[in-house]
């Protein structure tokens, strides 16, 4: 049976990848990736010739079965996401679950740690991180009000992701329930236009409104 490596890749700056990750990407038989075009940029930078196969949130059961069959036939595979650590608020989690279901204790699933937007944001927030809760992305429609009430009521530090299109809406909703909570809104971490907006929810929201709202966001909310 082959091995499945879960490999963290850069969240922006392509230099943020470990030597071990690069070695394994060269050695495996196939790299499973969300977007082959995105992963190819990384592979080409480091002159890695390994073939790629798409696996993403819209992949059908047949694709998972294909991957499991490759492992059954002894192929070593690397799973990467477009950015960061696979399976963290990412469709890779479903693949890991299915591989475990197929092979049980015989499954060889090996983590290759590295870049993570959650850890990066937590490390620069200045908030207590001995205990924190990561909530992924807020619901797009149903459950949004409950989501932000939960954030406001939390005793520990909270971290969640948000997109360009919804960041202002999310901060507006958070301001309704927790206007004076301290937050750090991290935009485009490790990239050219990396920016961190700090202050109360109201203050950070106004700073963000006055700036260019582009990129991916990680929001860190200080505990009460």
Entry field: residues in the chain: 224
- pLDDT-above-70 percentage for the chain: 100
For the chain, what are the domain ranges? 4-112, 117-221
Give, to the nearest 10 degrees, the angle between helix 61-72 and helix 92-103: 50
Whether the pLDDT of residue 202 is over 90: the answer is: yes
CATH class of 117-221: alpha beta
Whether the pLDDT of residue 45 is over 90: the answer is: yes
Least confident window among 29-33, 45-49, 153-157:
153-157
Q: How far is it, in rounded angstroms, from Cα 64 to Cα 90? A: 15
pLDDT category of residue 60 using cuts at 50, 70 and 90: confident
Give the pLDDT of residue 59: 72
Residue 224, number of CB atoms within 10 A of its CB: 11
Question: Which tokens hold the place of 201?
Answer: 């929810």
User: Burial code of 172-209, b = ≥16 C-beta within 10 A, e = fewer?
Assistant: ebbbeebeebbbbbbbbbbeeeebbbbebbbbbbeebe
- If DSSP codes are grouped into helix, strand and coil, which group holds residue 202? helix
- If DSSP codes are grouped into helix, strand and coil, which group holds residue 92? helix
**4-112 maps to which CATH number?**
3.40.1010.10
Q: For residue 158, what are the CA distances in angstroms to 23, 108, 148, 151, 219?
A: 35, 32, 11, 7, 8
Mean confidence (pLDDT) of the chain: 94
Give the pLDDT of residue 98: 94
Q: What is the pTM of this model?
A: 0.90
Q: Tens digits of per-residue pLDDT, 143-176?
A: 999 999 999 998 899 999 999 999 999 999 999 9
- Contacts of residue 3, Cβ cutoff 8 Å, sequence gap at least 6: 71, 76, 77, 108, 109, 110
Whether the pLDDT of residue 25 is over 90: the answer is: yes
């Amino acid at each position: 049976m082959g091995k499945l490596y879960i490999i963290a890749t850069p969240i922006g700056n392509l230099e943020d990848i470990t030597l071990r990750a690069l070695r394994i990407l060269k050695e495996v038989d196939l790299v499973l990736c969300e977007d082959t075009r995105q992963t190819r940029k990384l592979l080409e930078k480091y002159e890695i010739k390994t073939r790629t196969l798409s696996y993403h949130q819209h992949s059908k059961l047949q694709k998972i079965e294909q991957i499991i069959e490759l492992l059954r036939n002894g192929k070593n595979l690397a799973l990467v996401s477009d950015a960061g650590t696979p399976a963290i608020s990412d469709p890779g989690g479903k693949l890991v679950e299915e591989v475990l279901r197929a092979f049980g204790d015989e499954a060889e699933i090996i983590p290759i740690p590295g870049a993570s937007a959650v850890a990066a944001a937590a490390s620069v927030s200045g908030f207590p991180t001995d205990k924190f809760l990561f909530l992924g992305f807020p619901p797009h429609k149903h459950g949004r009000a409950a989501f932000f009430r939960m954030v406001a009521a939390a005793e520990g530090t909270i971290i969640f992701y948000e997109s360009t299109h919804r960041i202002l809406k999310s901060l507006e909703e958070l301001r309704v329930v927790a206007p004076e909570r301290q937050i750090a809104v991290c935009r485009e971490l490790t990239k050219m236009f990396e920016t961190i907006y700090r202050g109360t929810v109201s203050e950070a929201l106004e700073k963000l409104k006055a700036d260019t709202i582009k990129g991916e966001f990680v929001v860190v909310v200080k505990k009460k």
